[in-house]
A = this chain, B = another copy of it.
């Protein structure tokens, strides 16, 4: 089924997955592509295409069954089992994320280790997850079979840390550092998120007055259909 799903679709599918969870908690049993589009701030055609990458599921006239859709996405995107995760760098940001542990866990990610270069810091932080000095990183990752890592070290250390993680067998990394890191080993996925850069992109977009994506829009017929349901 999954002969290459485009990344933007993958991102939206994960968002849809979350939306299903929320809708389910609200007691809603069924949802249309139009409603999902509204939640994701996307288009209904887009939503339908995305879902169809995974195969057929919908029930015409009534839309998608919330629970069925959620499970369907989870099954196809391998979101069913809890994945082991670690946090590297326990400064302000890292600690905050560590404290976030609950939400990560609810989302299907168990934080099983924290790492930092400063032994001192390791001793002062009290956490529910075990903390280790950075030089044990590769070993612990390998031993515990940790699949994901969240990196919040200073920029200078980012690439080194990445290498150690990859060496230990990590398969996905979120890097909050201003340095773009790369994994030698193919197949390891990295997502770089730097706040300053995000702010700059935002700044350039807002000042350079890019034609707003909401301006280029559907034809009359389409627009009416979508608007009506608001």
Contacts and interface: CB of A to CB of B under 8 A. Distances in A.
Interface of A: 2, 4-5, 7, 10-11, 13-15, 17-18, 39-41, 76-79, 83, 85, 92-93, 95-97, 99-100, 103-104, 107-109, 147-148, 150, 171-174, 178, 180, 182, 186-189, 191, 193-212, 214-215
B11 A109 contact: no
Contacts of A13: 204
A198 B18 CA distance: 12
Contact of A196 (B10, B104, B187, B209): B104
A148 B199 CA distance: 8
Given A103-B195, A103-B196, A109-B196, 4 more contacts: A18-B197, A78-B204, A108-B199, A193-B198
B180 A39 contact: yes
